[in-house]
Amino acid sequence: MATIKDVARLAGVGLGTASRVVSGKGSVSPATLEKVKKAIEELDFRPSHAARSLLSGSTRMIGVYIPLLKGTFYMPILQSIDNELRAEGLHMVVAFGVGAGNFREQAIDGINFLIERGCDGLIVMSNALEDADIEVLGNKKTNLVVLNHRYDCIADQCFTADHNLGGRMAAQALLKHKHKKIAVIAGPSSAPDNVDRIGGFMHELELGGIDVSKMWVAESNFAPDGGWASAQELVESDYDFTAVFCANDEMAIGTLSYFQHAGIDVPGEVSVVGYDDTETAAFSAPRLSSVHIAWREMTMSGLSFLLNRCYDLERPVQRKFPVSMTWRNSVEKAPRASFRKR
């Protein structure tokens, strides 16, 4: 395999000159440029990624950390990042939570893995870190962007949505359809965005005259199996309900599946509202009404901010992301009597 030294020798130029042509940095005369290009073509010279990195001072790689490499939530985010990076001639390196450590330790390990691979910048989706974990990165934290969480030490580099507003919209959707007997399948209490959306949901119900102190609430895991298990627990309880709010779409899909298994008609007997408005919400049975969070816009703005900082680009960046309700087929007006009393 030809090397940069072979190119320089064939072109009759110094190694530094050949390197400037390959890296695209520095000036050379048109005649010299033509000689080096001819030598590259004749030798079929293809610099390795490591060689390009040494020549340019950049690996052209962006690292992405996510807690889980599964499910319907993170995959579209990774796909959209990869598509944008490839369009810019860049590449994505992914790390995710593994090992026996807690979520914080896994995130720290994943970030260190990406830094050790020489990534020019990092996109991190984790609420498990502490500000001190970011501060210890030193100048590496300059090229780090966080999605769906805010850390005070890099607040300008964080991109998130108003999840309190999202929770309030979910409550408004059910109140609009006259539901008063409502159950909640929440995500982990350790997740700040879950706390925000559940807090907004409960506050809006209180404003609507609902006594939330008597409401049935389950803490689950943001996964379909958690939705199924919580829905089963709800049906087997004595709680009387006509609607369920699930704190994300994956739990809502599990909930819909269990209700179908149990012979409960959605939305005729029970209405279900999801959260996130992921792609699967449009293809569930029935199609899921869900709070729309602008995940793609949030991701693209965070990515653009990072690319601008790493590569001196001028991509547009927005800071506010709309929250809305996507209506499909899983919500109807509350029945006069719940399915338990029919």
Q: What is the DSSP string of 234-264?
A: HHHSS---SEEEESSHHHHHHHHHHHHHTT-
Phi, psi for residue 62 in degrees, rounded to 5: -115, 130
**pLDDT at residue 21 in the model:** 84
* CA–CA distance, 60 with 24 (Å, rounded to integer): 14
C-alpha dihedral sign at 93, 96, 100, 101: positive
Pair of tokens at residue 207: 């404003």
| 297 CB-contact burial (10 Å; exposed 0-12 / middle 13-18 / buried 19+) | middle
Structure-token match 């995500």, residue found: 187
Q: Tokens at residue 148, please?
A: 């769906």
Query: Which residues of the chain fall short of a pLDDT of 50?
Result: none
pLDDT at 249: 98
Contact 5, 45 (CB under 8 A): no
Q: In DSSP terms, which residues pair with 292 in a beta bridge?
A: 276, 324
d(CA 139, CA 116): 14
Tens digits of residue pLDDT in 256-308: 999 999 999 999 999 999 999 999 999 999 999 999 999 999 999 999 999 99
Rounded CA gap, 316 and 301, in Å? Answer: 7
pLDDT of residue 44: 87
Asked whether 281 and 327 are in contact (CB, 8 A), the reply is no
Q: Sheet with 182-186: list strands edge to edge.
A: 216-219, 182-186, 243-246, 271-276, 289-293, 323-326
3-state secondary structure (DSSP) of residue 58: coil
